[in-house]
């Protein structure tokens, strides 16, 4: 690893709103709502989906371990790409995606 390269553990939260959900997607979300409660969520490598009872707002939470010259930027880009892939695969229409990245390595070493 070069002197400018750093590594870390990053918690990436992708927030957004559901948009244009099909009846099938909405039924799935209603039926699975208890499994996606905020109090059951965690930051995981594969991501964790949580959403509000109105099925309006959602969060996808990822914990990523990356190295490189700008790992926080890369973590945000990767988290967003993973969220978009997940939403597309599940058939969940969405809008207004926002990404937040927290470097846990800095917090844990303080």
Average pLDDT, the chain: 91
Write down the pTM of the prediction. Answer: 0.89
Strands (DSSP E) found in 19-93: 48-51, 57-68
**DSSP-derived 3-state class of residue 29:** helix
Reduced to 3 states (helix: H, G, I; strand: E, B; else coil), residue 54 is coil
Whether the predicted pLDDT of 1 surpasses 80: no
Q: In what order do the strands lie in the sheet with 48-51?
A: 48-51, 57-68, 6-18, 94-103
Taking only the tens place, the pLDDT of each residue in 37-74 is 888 889 999 999 999 999 999 999 999 999 888 999 99
Q: Which residues contact 23 (CB under 8 A, 6 or more apart)?
A: none
> What's 49's domain CATH number?
3.30.70
In a domain, residue 110? The reply is: no
Is 12 buried (19+), middle (13-18) or exposed (0-12) by CB count in 10 A? buried
Residue at 25 is within a domain: yes
Does any domain span residue 68? yes
């Amino acid at each position: 690893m070069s002197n400018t390269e750093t590594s870390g553990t990053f918690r990436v939260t992708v927030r957004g709103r559901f948009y244009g959900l099909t009846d099938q997607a909405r039924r799935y979300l209603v039926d699975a709502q208890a499994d996606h409660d905020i109090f059951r969520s965690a930051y995981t490598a594969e991501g964790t989906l949580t959403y509000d009872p109105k099925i309006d707002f959602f969060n996808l939470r990822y914990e990523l371990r990356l190295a490189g010259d700008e790992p926080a930027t890369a973590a945000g880009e990767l988290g967003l790409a993973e969220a978009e892939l997940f939403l597309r695969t599940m058939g969940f229409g969405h809008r207004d995606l926002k990404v937040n990245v927290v470097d846990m390595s800095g917090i844990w070493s303080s």
